[in-house]
Each structure stands twice: as structure tokens, then as C-alpha cells.
Structure 1
Amino acid sequence: MTQAVSVKADLVLVLVTLLAAAGWIFSKEALAGLAPLMFIFIRFVSAGVVVGAVGWKDVQAMSQAEWIRALRSGACFGMAIAFWIMGLKYGQHMGVGAFLTCLGVVMVPLVILLFGDRPPSTTWVSLPLAAAGLGCLSLDGTFVFGFGELCYLAAACLFALTFVLTSRAAASIPAIALTSVQLTVVGLVALPLSLAFETWQLPGVLDIWLWVLASTLIATCLRFFLQTWAQGKTSSSSAALIMMLEPVWTACLAAFWFGEQMTLMQMLGCGLIFTALLASRWRSVIRVAGKLVPATARSW
């Protein structure tokens, strides 16, 4: 893999973080008329069918081993999304929820232990910083760790596992085939949960369906195809570093769209969590910065 391809993948991931942040807004608006897990079923199965139709030849060409890897990552992804959408439905603050969810990036090195690898030493610096950030959030008199926040944290743990599984699978499976299988499995995981715990009632308001359409085509089909492709073209640590931008964009969009405001304690907590994210990928910070600085500038 050439450096040019790696840089291109990193730039695509920056675009992915913007699409992901927009997806928070699309989903929040759609939840005004749809039950959370029902929305996930409709959104992800529809997206999986669309992507699968475009890349049908690649899906057909998948081997049994590739199907197993894709289904495994998709099932984990489905559980993560189920917890995330419940957090989005019942959480108190979208910006804070985005930072809690993206703690999964800090947890990636710990998940690597499950695969017999040794996490970098920066992990033991980032985890205390993240814990301090969570402490600041919970100590704020206006912030309570309720059901929504616990769902965000559960989602973060599962997203960390999904990230590692996807990066490993994307190295050998065509991005469009892997994306199609993953998205479809996410929807199928949400279906029995929705049937068991929710009452199905389709909204009759056009605006809700427009938000569902935006969530499906922009924040799901386009976003996850680009993310899967880019993860297969760059290192897991570099990809995880760039994905740290998502909570920043999400907090900014939430402030603009919903008029959300953070207290000073919440801002401090989010700042500590973001510092933990950077610390967990410090070597990648240096490496990515080196890619973006022109060679002539470095020679000075």
C-alpha cells in the first residue's frame, strides 16, 4: 500500500466523520416519529439492500470464511447500534453522548488483547484521562448518568470490538460486499428486539420519512461504504485517530441545530475525553501530521 493511497484513505475518513455527525441529526429527527429499534431495522436493512444491489457481484464472490468474518462483525455492530440508538433516544445531551460513544476509540487497544496482541503503553495514560473526563461529566449538577448514558457506554465497548473486527475483515473482503452484509445484519439484529419491546406504528408525516431517507442514503450507505473502504487502506490506529473528529463535529452541529449548550464542567469532561483519545493514538498523531506536512516544509 503506497503512501498516496494511505493519505487518500485518511482524507476520506475525515469526510466520514462529517457524514457521521450529520447522521446524529438525521437520526434524532427521525426518532420523533419512529420507535428507536424499528428505525434501525428500516434504516439499515434498506441501506444493506441498496449497497448489496450495487455490489451484487462482489457479494456473490465471497467465500465461506469471508461470510463468517462479515457476519461476525455485523452482529457485533448490530448490538452496538442498538445500544447507541437507545442512548440517542433517552440521553440528555447529544454532544456529551457523542463523546461517550467515541470512548470506544480508547478501548480499541484493550480489545486487541482479545486477539493476542499487546496494547501500546499510551493506553495506560489515556484510560485515566478518560475516567477523569467521565468523572467531570457525572459530577456536574446538571448531568446524571441515566439509562441513555449507560447505553452510550455499552455502545462504546461494542463499537471498539466492531472496529477491530471490521479492520481485519476489510483487509481481504471488498468494501462494498462487507458493507452490504454488515448493514443488513445490523437491521436483522434490531428486528427481534423491536418486535419484543416496541409497538410498531408507522408515522404519517412526510418529514419523518425524509429524515429516514437521509439517514439511509447519506449517513448509512455512503458513510459506511467510505469508512469500510478507508479502513481497508490505512492502519487501524490511524483510522481510529481520525474518527475522533466525530464527537467534535456532532457537538458543533447539535449546538447549531438544537441549540444545545454545555456547562463548564461538561466542557472540561469532554476536553479530558478528547485528550484521552489523542493520547491513545499519539504515535498516529505524529504519523498523520507527517503525512500532511509537505516534504519541503519538513526539510526546513
Structure 2
Amino acid sequence: MRAHALRADATLTLVALIWGSGFIAQKLGMDHMGPLAYTGLRYIIGVLMLLPFVLRARGRRRINRKTLVSGLLLGFCMVIAANAQQIGLVTTTVSRAGFITGLYVLIVPFIGLCVGHRFSFGHLAGAVLAAGGLYMLSGDISGGLRTGDLWVGLCALVWAFHVVIVAVAAPKADAIGLAFVQFAVVALITPILAFLFEEVSVQAVIEARWAVLYGGVFSIGLAFTLQIIGQRHAPPTHAAVIMSLESVFAAVFGVVLLAEKLSVPELIGCGLMFAGMLVSQAWPHKRTPAEKAELIDPVR
């Protein structure tokens, strides 16, 4: 396996780890404010974090027309996915929402086909293993279909589109510019929704300040930028399998920091998800356009 592919896998694993740790911050932050306010503040911090790099590009155009269009698409995907999930959580359980959202790992391969990203049998097998592991990690998700499940299903679908759009845009775009634009879209729209549908107070922001800062700097500013960098040299299905480890890392951080306990089925689920990543990583696959470009221009 080429060095750039290993670096991409390591980068996306770090993304999953940061997002997994972000669940702890989200849980603590939402003890003091609603999900829309928490999300809006995190993305505002993400914008402020990247703004100096955008302004001090030293003659480089970080945001050209293609980057702007791709960033706008990604930003709207983020807004729809985040809010659909929150609406769904009103009438469904957290465990069901977590499982349904994670099903994006099975949707990505087929959306990717539409834009010329082929997947190997290993990628698909890894996705199936990851989905099975997520099912076991989610606990009891029995019961009939609920309205909330449909909303969360929309979240999974849109998030799958997000992963594929990143796969298409990342090799040709400046990572910081692309991340900045998508953050800006969410930072503009979500606070408006928060003021319309939630009670927002300065005191709540002060009480949740550390959770908001961690979420904004690490889960948003750092992790989503690293996602773009990592997906430059990772097929979208493979990237989705690795990033689905977010659920495993969230469970691990819950055990370490919140003294939560994992049952035997949940431990098996974690193992299946790691197995899915290994299968997806080890199985031979045809090079993506980004990988082919790397052979011609290894410095890019």
C-alpha cells in the first residue's frame, strides 16, 4: 500500500477519534442549551478558527469558483443532515438514531458509482461489517418504523452525499478554503434556526463554554478539515467505513470518561467495526483518480 494511502487512513482514523470524543462534549454542552444553538456556536468557532488562514493565503486563492460551489453544497448538506437528525430524535430513540445514521456507510458506495467512484468487494464487505457492528453497538432498536426514523434516514442519505461530494471536490480544492465555506453556511443558517425554535441565553453559553470550545475547535475546525485532506487519497466507501469508527471511539470515551459500561454484544459490535475497517483497507482495489494523479504528481 502506498504511503499516501496509509496517511489518508491514519488521518481519517484521527477524524473518527475526534468525532467520537466530541459526543462527550455534545452531551455536556446540551445539558445547558438546545442542539441548534450548540451546533451553531460550534460552526461559528470553526469559521473563526480557519479565517486567519483564509485571509493570509499569501497570494494563493484558497476559494475559487469550484471551491465555493462545492463548499456551498457541503454546507447545505450539513445543515439538512444535522437538523433532520435532531427532528428525528423527538420521536425516536438515541440508539435507533445512531444506527440509522450510521447506515450512510452502506449508501455511499452506490452514490459514489454515480460519479465514477468504483468500489471493490472488500470495500463493500467492510461496509456491511461496519453496519453489522453498529447494529450490535446500538443496543435495543426493536419496534416498528417511526416518523423520527424517516427523518434520521434523511440524515443518513444526506450525509452519504456529503462524503461523496468531498471525495469529488477534495483532490482539486484547497482543504482550508473548502472547509471554511461549508462551515460558514452552517454558521449563518443554524443560529437563525436556534433563535426561532429554541431559548438561547448568555448564561447558557457561559455554562457550556468548554464543551462548545472543544466541539468548535476539534470536532468542527480540525476534524472536518482533516476529513477533506484524508479523502483526497481514499475511495469514498473506504473513507466511510473508517469514519464510522466514530461510534466505537464514542463508546470508548464513554467508558473512560463517563464510567459507562459496554455489554458483550456491544464489545462484539466494536470488534466487527474494526474488522470492517481492516477488510476495507487490506482488499486490493483499483486506484481512484486522485491516486492516479498522485503517481504523476507525487508532491501535490
User: Which residue number in structure 1 is paired with residue 74 of structure 2?
Assistant: 73
Partners of 2:170 and 2:231 within 8 A in 1? yes
User: Which residue number in structure 2 is paired with residue 286 of structure 1?
Assistant: 283
Q: CA deviation at 1:171?
A: 1.0
User: Which residue number in structure 1 is paired with residue 297 of structure 2?
Assistant: none
User: Which residue number in structure 1 is paired with residue 218 of structure 2?
Assistant: 218
User: Which residue number in structure 2 is paired with residue 162 of structure 1?
Assistant: 162
1:158-192 per-position Cα deviation (integer Å, ceiling 9, x unaligned):
11110001111111111111111111112223234
Partners of 2:25 and 2:137 in 1: CA distance: 29
Q: CA deviation at 1:84?
A: 4.0
Partners of 1:47 and 1:183 within 8 A in 2? yes
- Matched AA of 2:54: G
* Range with greater deviation from structure 2 (85-94 or 68-77): 85-94
Name the % identity.
Answer: 23
Partners of 1:167 and 1:231 within 8 A in 2? yes
1:31-73 per-position Cα deviation (integer Å, ceiling 9, x unaligned):
1111111111111022113212223355854222321122112
Partners of 1:10 and 1:73 in 2: CA distance: 22
User: Which residue number in structure 2 is paired with residue 18 of structure 1?
Assistant: 17
Partners of 1:138 and 1:145 within 8 A in 2? no
Structure 1 residues 200 and 186: alpha-carbon distance in aligned structure 2, compared to 1, 3 A threshold: same
Partners of 2:200 and 2:115 in 1: CA distance: 40
Structure 1 residues 46 and 283: alpha-carbon distance in aligned structure 2, compared to 1, 3 A threshold: closer
Matched, 1:180 2:180: yes
Partners of 1:253 and 1:91 in 2: CA distance: 24
- Matched AA of 2:80: M
1:11-45 per-position Cα deviation (integer Å, ceiling 9, x unaligned):
12211111110111111111111111111111102
Partners of 2:221 and 2:137 in 1: CA distance: 36
Q: CA deviation at 1:235?
A: 2.8
Task: Provide TM-score, normalisation by structure 1.
Answer: 0.75
Alignment of 1:111-126 (within 5 A): 111-115=111-115
Partners of 1:23 and 1:215 within 8 A in 2? yes
Alignment of 1:136-285 (within 5 A): 151-204=151-204, 206-261=206-261, 270=269, 274=273, 278=276, 282-285=279-282
Secondary structure of the 1:34 match is: coil
User: Which residue number in structure 2 is paired with residue 63 of structure 1?
Assistant: 64
Structure 1 residues 87 and 274: alpha-carbon distance in aligned structure 2, compared to 1, 3 A threshold: farther
Alignment of 1:34-45 (within 5 A): 34-45=33-44
1:81-129 per-position Cα deviation (integer Å, ceiling 9, x unaligned):
22345567887446x6544422211110122254466766675996699
Secondary structure of the 2:172 match is: coil
Structure 1 residues 205 and 282: alpha-carbon distance in aligned structure 2, compared to 1, 3 A threshold: closer
User: Which residue number in structure 1 is paired with residue 3 of structure 2?
Assistant: 4
Partners of 2:70 and 2:178 within 8 A in 1? no
* Range with greater deviation from structure 2 (116-125 or 6-15): 116-125
For the aligned residues, what is the CA RMSD?
3.9
Partners of 1:192 and 1:86 in 2: CA distance: 16
Partners of 1:88 and 1:254 in 2: CA distance: 20
Partners of 2:118 and 2:244 in 1: CA distance: 22
Q: CA deviation at 1:261?
A: 4.7
